[in-house]
Amino acid sequence: MRGLALAETGFVFDPVSGFGYNLNLTAVTLLRKLQEGDSIEKILKFMREEYEADSNEMERDLEQFLNRLSDYGLLNWEKA
């Protein structure tokens, strides 16, 4: 996760696989928080404070994002 190159524009480069990905600005923020070592709980707290959305929907969206990162081999994560 920490080896990913992340541009402000949302482009992510994985030097291990050689693949690149495009993220929206929210996903860039979440990925940065993951790279900084923030816990899932801390990220959810940040999202609740920063964004106006249903708390359950935010949890679902974050879980989907983490699953997608895991699917691409960018994050070793499984829902507890």
Tell whether the torsion through CA atoms of 58, 63, 66 and 68 is positive or negative. negative
pLDDT band (50, 70, 90) for residue 3: confident
How much is the pLDDT for 73?
A: 87
Task: State the pairing for strand pair 20-22/5-6.
Answer: unpaired
pTM of the model: 0.84
Average pLDDT over residues 27-44: 94
pLDDT of residue 21 exceeding 70, the answer is yes
In degrees, rounded to 5, the angle at the alpha carbon of residue 30 between the alpha carbons of residues 25 and 33 is 130
Inform me whether the pLDDT recorded for 80 exceeds 60: no
Amino acid at 30: L
